[in-house]
Amino acid sequence: MPHVITQSCCSDASCVYACPVNCIHPTPDEPDFHTAEMLYIDPQECVDCGACVTACPVDAIRFDGSLAPNETLFAELNADFYRDGRDRPLLAPPVPALRVRRGQDLRVAIVGSGPAAMYAADEILTIPGARVRIYERLQTPFGLARFGVAPDHQRTRGVLRQFDRILADPRVELVLGTEVGVTITHDDLLASHHGVIYAVGASADRALDIPGADLAGVTSATQFAAWYNGHPDFADRRFDLSGSRAIVIGNGNVALDVARILTMNPDLLADTDIAPYALDALRDSRIEEVTVVGRRGLEQAAFTVPELIGLCATPGVDVVVADEQLGILPADDARAVALRGASRRDGNRRVVLDFLLSPTALSGTEPVRTMEFVRNELIPAADGSMRVKATGESHTKEAGLMLTSIGYRGRPVPGLPFDEATATVPNDAGRVIGARRAYVTGWIKRGARGFIGTNKYCAQETVRSLIDDYNSTG
């Protein structure tokens, strides 16, 4: 029986290079790497050596025979990826080693300490003698890997161990409580480093632009997630969990995370990294149902299939989709199989996935507010995609807690140019355009998309640009 990649896959692709028969795809050099929701093992080619298991930083790879009942769907998901065959070389093309031509005294400053920053540091440390100084605004490192990953996703949080190992390298210095533009300037950093890499992420939420969106009781799912993960900026926040329903606008993976945390049995969170005050609040919560609303249909939903499978396998939580929406999917579609297999028991809390609705206004006073929606229909576009068109049919839903999860935006970085349209720093392969010896990686470079491990290849490109400049100009 082959090995199988499961839900916690972070797409960092360390397993790809560990595999002796190159049967894990897509590899980072393949075009679909950037759009795939996870990596997949070809069950026909796997020789069961187990090398990928130890290479994976998030414990995502399982021997087929040891899959838990709620993971068996992943065996199908892995096999499905290879259904139509796939040309591949015998080995994945290796990443060329970095070389510095002038001595070995490279000093690099990295601003931020989330996944993009840590992968950039890891890459620089492959150069003998190179040193890295990491500047973090908070008193705790690792950014979204610590404050964005749900506490019950313990395997994904295992990536923190990898980051701890990077920090333990004696050539790395971590400077906490330091913010560029407040306590230190870009010029200060340039004065003592050969280059500065900004890995500051996309820390602003896209705002809901409807009347009433600024009413008290409406907040973002990101802030709610930061609160239950103990982020110091949000530890004092209070969320009203006294109503029977919460609504989440947007249906990406963060939306599913907060819906799951709001509905699962708090006892299952007790042994996780959840903040104790949040666990106490969830124990007192009266929320029985979370409705997750998307403006497009089930087929176009923003959540990934692995996250949906995980949600459907949550004990004590029903996941409900209207029959007419579920019926659109082929019977053997992994999403349909997961949703049909989701538990339905009296006494369970519920996550309702609703589609083809756009919010138009919010009204009411605490503790219950009313969200107004317009029903959408899907119109095929010339490029083959489906566009959303409002039908004029209106709906309302009431809830005590309203969370928005409609994407992130980068914030301007003091001393660097900024593109308001893309909310990124303009760059060429990570080189900041119009700024000397400044580089970007992660979401501030490419926009808020991809998974934790996607940052590894983004960081490799940026560090290669920095080294090329260092070698050519010093």
Residues that bind ligand SF4 (CB under 6 A): 3, 18-19, 21, 23-24, 41, 46-52
CB-nearer residue toward ligand SF4: 29 or 179: 29
Smallest distance, ligand SF4 to C-beta of residue 88, A: 12
In the complex, least distance from residue 166 CB atom to ligand SF4, rounded to whole angstroms: 23
What is the dihedral sign for C-alpha 297, 25, 383, 254?
A: positive
Of 65 and 327, the one with the shorter C-beta distance to ligand SF4 is 65
Q: What does the alpha-carbon distance between residue 135 and residue 152 come to, in Å, rounded to a whole number?
A: 28
Among 442, 353, 368, 374, CA closest to 402: 368
- Return d(Cα 212, Cα 218) in angstroms, integer: 9
Which is nearer to ligand SF4, 50 or 177 (by Cβ)? 50
Rounded to whole angstroms, how far apart are CA atoms 206 and 213? 12
Alpha carbon distances (Å) from 108 to 133, 190, 251, 289, 451? 6, 9, 38, 49, 25
- Least CB distance from residue 48 to ligand SF4, whole Å? 5
Tokens 């297999």 sit on residue: 341
Q: Which is nearer to ligand SF4, 53 or 166 (CB)?
A: 53
Residue 42 vs 152, nearer CB to ligand SF4? 42
Query: At its nearest, how many Å lie between ligand SF4 and the CB of residue 107?
Result: 37
Cβ–Cβ under 8 Å, residues 248 and 291: yes
Q: Nearest approach, Cβ of 154 to ligand SF4 (angstroms)?
A: 22
Minimal distance in Å, beta carbon 45 to ligand SF4?
Answer: 7
Lateral strand order in the sheet of 357-363: 357-363, 369-380, 386-399
Non-local (6+) Cβ contacts of 217 within 8 A are 240, 366, 367, 369, 400, 401, 402
Residue 24 or 435: which CB sits closer to ligand SF4? 24
Single-letter amino acid code for the residue at 216? A
